[in-house]
A and B are shown apart, each in its own frame.
Chain A
Amino acid sequence: MANKSFLIGSVIVGIFIFAAIFAEFITPNDPAEADLSRSLKPPGEGFLLGTDVLGRDVFTRLIYGARISFLIAFATVGIALIVGIPLGLLCGYRMGVFDSIVMRVVDIMLSFPGFMLAVVIAFSLGPSLTTLIIAIGIYSTPLFIRLVRASTLSIKEEEYVMGARAIGETDFNIIFRYILPNCIAPVIVQSTLRMGVSILTAAGLGFIGLGVQPPTPEWGLMISEARIYIREAPHLILFPGLALTLLVLGFNLMGDGLNDILNPRIKKI
């Protein structure tokens, strides 16, 4: 069954992945190479998308910025999955004191509203690419703990799990052979959607100075560096903003499409 959202989303994300991998072949320029003699050039004249205040090629920086965005998306969701899935399985399967403690910690984390949680974590870790990835990884973890825990709670009451227990399967086998495979579908959907959230969060932190530091070509940071030239060179804000929006749209369409493919029972309205 071909799913339109998934297809369009994959094409968008695919183009960005292609650009990120083959950056060196797509553009001959260096993303960090500054030349003040060509500062703030408008799009077109020798530079497809113009240059920034230091005379760096905006197109090249956007292409290399895709690398940073994918690194952040995959690494942060990876951390969230590695921490969140085992904790969610254990909490849902065992319940009891351990579950209560983990859920209270999750409550405390979620008591900071949305993006502010990422800001607070970034405060205590300090700004750099590595700490940014850890911060957003931690920020994304509660979602997966709750998601996997909720699925585990309902799956462990299913007859096939009861059956497995009745024939004497170990807890380890029950969790990894019976429960995990059956709660993985919503995890795949949320992981895809969460990559978009990670990219937006990283850009937001980069924008307020708590994320990736200069001269790294990160899209949020590029917008932040361009804001004082909004009058002379609004394209410096628009192009990275557009790249961000498009890539996040790609991940969202993929996630929505996957949701329809993996949950065929729920009809799309």
Chain B
Amino acid sequence: MLYRYIGKRILLLIPTLFGIIFVSFLILYTIPGDPAVTIAGVYATPEVLEAIREQLGLNKPLPIQFLIYVKDVFTGNFGRSVSSGAPVLSELIPRFINTFELATLSTIFATIIGILLGIISSLKKGSVIDNFSMFLAIIGTCAPSFLIGYLLIIIFSLYLGILPPFGKGELSTYIMPVITLAFWALASVARTTRGSMLEVLGRDYIRTAKSLGIKKRKVILKYALKNALIPVITVIGLNYGYTLGGAVLTEMVFAWPGIGKFLVDSYFARDFPIVRGGILFIGVAFMIINLITDLIYSFLDPRIRFFERETV
């Protein structure tokens, strides 16, 4: 059953992969103007433009161009950046790693703090900590991440002067970007943990365990938490995607050299080989990350194999 699920899941990636390739192919043509000028820049000489048309096959019919593009993609030929002249992939990979680093650290931070806050809130319902963490949860869901980022900068860089306001370097430059990006996921992890713990704590087997005189700490850690964490794990996986996608805003606030910021900057600099390659890269990377999280779930919770996960 497990192998069949994995096989089916990987087969479904093929149309998605072609879809992503098609979208990144089209982006060059949906942007207004001559694609050759779009790629080479407005100052390119007619000879350069002609060379690009020849190289990309822009004189050929669109379906042929698409086939050439597909061939280029599978042979790893993504062209060169207009502004730096370096191969597109060698520009994208280090920036993707920066974003990946930021998103992963944020997810770990959100998971640890979110679960802790959720557990404490569920055990001390109505207490100061419960109200505080629910307040954090509201801020996390409603406030735009760039507002949180600037609030942190105003407090910790401008008033207290203890953290650098932007850039990526030593450990201290990580603190504010990680917290900013983590906020949204932290809110949803805390809320889910709290709700799930409250539900589990009300079940018969917990009451039985308590009435048998088993220590409270053991009941909570061994019986309640273990069952309460299943929906939390699902939420963390779903959030990871949103965290990766939302990272661009955090990157803009803190001048973090990630792939989202790079893509937006390249778009405004009209460096379209980067934009096209970046869209493809992000789509494929996210597709693989989704696959891995799905597979991890299907090992952890066999029920998922029978019901396809819906992200509604």
Contact = CB atoms under 8 A, between A and B. Distances in A.
Given A203-B144, A234-B154, A234-B158, A150 B245 contact: no
A170 to B, nearest CB: 29
Contacts of A231: 158
B146 A223 contact: yes
Interface string A201-215: 001100111100000
Contacts of B158: 230-231, 234
Contacts of A105: 19
Contact of B286 (A113, A125, A249, A252): A113
Interface size class of B (residues with CB under 8 A): 35 or more
A116 interface: yes
Contacts of B142: 196, 245-246, 248-249, 252
Interface in A110-134: 110-117, 119-120, 123-126
A26 B282 CA distance: 46
A19 interface: no
A150 to B, nearest CB: 6
B23 A113 contact: no
Contact of A245 (B147, B241, B248): B147
Nearest to B19: A108
Contacts of B27: 120, 123-124
A120 B23 contact: yes
A220 interface: yes
B129 interface: no
A230 B153 contact: yes
B264 A111 contact: no
Nearest to B150: A237
Q: Which bucket holds chain A's interface residue count?
A: 35 or more
A72 interface: no
B268 interface: yes
A208 B245 contact: no
Contacts of A41: none
Contacts of A238: 147, 150-151
30 contacts: A104-B16, A105-B19, A107-B16, A108-B16, A111-B16, A111-B19, A112-B279, A113-B282, A113-B286, A115-B246, A116-B282, A120-B27, A124-B30, A124-B31, A143-B312, A204-B145, A207-B144, A207-B249, A223-B146, A223-B150, A230-B158, A237-B150, A241-B150, A244-B144, A245-B142, A246-B142, A248-B141, A249-B138, A252-B142, A269-B199
B287 A111 contact: yes
